[in-house]
């Protein structure tokens, strides 16, 4: 399994760097895992958007789904009509998107995307990956996700989405090869975390889950990412990195 970082900034972009979004490549399939502000421009550097196999959105905050709009319009007006892209997202995702669209475009949302509701405790197949949904702790319905290869030796990816520390986060990351965990706040800003993780909290969750490797994402744009990394490393014995745009993570 290959993870290409389309963006890793939390809440709003860094200069020249998009919000959370990851392209997962496995067995020839291309799957998006979140697709926040600025990700579309980076996706286009790597793959043909008409050949995506599935999109998985952890929750409907704009820093995780906003670039579904340019993806929608690119597909909506493509002459080949590459429609019916499976979209796994919280219930009502397309209705949420449609609120700021004109009637003519809104009518095409369910043709361009084929929506499936994420449900806690359920799993689904996205191309060659099995995806399990766990409850996150966040102001809107949100999911921690565990992605596992189906063919060949199992490779596992845990993804926090956005969440405060919670049991679902640790379960999603239990024994994974790679744990992609948000670390919005440096430790000294813990009181401002509001449904998010601190860097030490991400390290603690990785340790508790027994994850083999921790990669931090969704760090608030004004923080020094090396500080986040070192704070997480104090709470976790394994390797810790920060998800930087265009980074390739092979599992």
User: Which residue ranges make up the site for Zn ion (CB under 5 A)?
Assistant: 61, 63, 162
Cβ nearer to Zn ion, comparing 65 with 236 = 65
Q: How far is the CB of 183 from Zn ion (least distance, A)?
A: 12
Query: What 3-state DSSP class applies to 29?
Result: strand
Q: How far is the CB of 184 from Zn ion (least distance, A)?
A: 7
Q: How far is the CB of 194 from Zn ion (least distance, A)?
A: 10
What phi and psi, each to the nearest 5 degrees, are found at residue 225?
-70, -25
Cβ nearer to Zn ion, comparing 160 with 204 = 160
What's the angle, vertex CA 247, arms to CA 242 and CA 248, rounded to 5?
115
Can you tell me the distance from the alpha carbon of 166 to that of 188, in angstroms, rounded to the nearest whole number? 20
Can you tell me the distance from the alpha carbon of 238 to that of 50, in angstroms, rounded to the nearest whole number? 38
Cβ nearer to Zn ion, comparing 53 with 61 = 61
Q: How far is the CB of 61 from Zn ion (least distance, A)?
A: 3
Cβ nearer to Zn ion, comparing 19 with 235 = 19
Tokens of 109: 């949302």
CB 131, CB 145: distance < 8 Å: yes
What's the angle, vertex CA 67, arms to CA 179 and CA 104, rounded to 5?
145
Cβ nearer to Zn ion, comparing 21 with 86 = 21
Q: How far is the CB of 66 from Zn ion (least distance, A)?
A: 11
Q: How far is the CB of 94 from Zn ion (least distance, A)?
A: 18
Can you tell me the distance from the alpha carbon of 55 to that of 86, in angstroms, rounded to the nearest whole number? 6
List of long-range contacts for 224-227, beta carbons under 8 Å, 24+ apart = 224/186, 227/186, 227/199
Q: How far is the CB of 138 from Zn ion (least distance, A)?
A: 6
Cβ nearer to Zn ion, comparing 61 with 225 = 61
Can you tell me the distance from the alpha carbon of 151 to that of 199, in angstroms, rounded to the nearest whole number? 34
Can you tell me the distance from the alpha carbon of 206 to that of 231, in angstroms, rounded to the nearest whole number? 13
Cβ nearer to Zn ion, comparing 14 with 61 = 61
Sequence-distant (6+) residues with CB within 8 A of 44 are: none
Residue 78's alpha-carbon distances to 30, 111, 218, in angstroms, are: 19, 13, 32
């Amino acid at each position: 399994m290959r993870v290409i970082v389309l963006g890793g900034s939390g809440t709003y972009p860094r200069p020249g760097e998009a919000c959370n979004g990851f392209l997962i490549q496995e067995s020839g399939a291309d799957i998006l895992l979140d697709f926040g502000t600025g990700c579309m421009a980076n996706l286009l550097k790597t793959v043909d958007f008409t050949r995506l196999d599935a999109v998985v959105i952890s929750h409907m905050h704009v820093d995780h789904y906003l670039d579904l709009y340019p993806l929608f319009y690119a597909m909506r007006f493509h002459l080949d009509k590459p429609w019916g892209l499976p979209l796994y997202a919280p219930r009502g995702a397309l209705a949420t998107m449609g609120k700021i669209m004109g009637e003519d475009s809104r009518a095409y949302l369910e043709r361009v995307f084929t929506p499936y509701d994420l449900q806690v405790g359920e799993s689904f197949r996205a191309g060659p990956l099995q995806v399990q949904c766990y409850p996150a702790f966040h102001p809107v319905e949100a999911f921690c996700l565990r992605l596992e290869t189906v063919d060949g030796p199992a490779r596992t990816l845990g993804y926090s989405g956005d969440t405060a520390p919670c049991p679902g986060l640790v379960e999603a990351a239990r024994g994974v090869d790679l744990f992609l965990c948000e670390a919005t706040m440096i430790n000294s800003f813990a009181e401002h975390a509001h449904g998010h993780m601190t860097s030490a909290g991400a390290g603690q969750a990785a340790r508790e889950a027994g994850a083999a490797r921790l990669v931090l994402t969704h760090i608030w744009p004004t923080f020094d990412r090396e500080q986040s990394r070192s704070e997480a490393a104090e709470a976790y014995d394994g390797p810790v990195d920060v998800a930087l745009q265009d980074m390739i993570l092979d599992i």
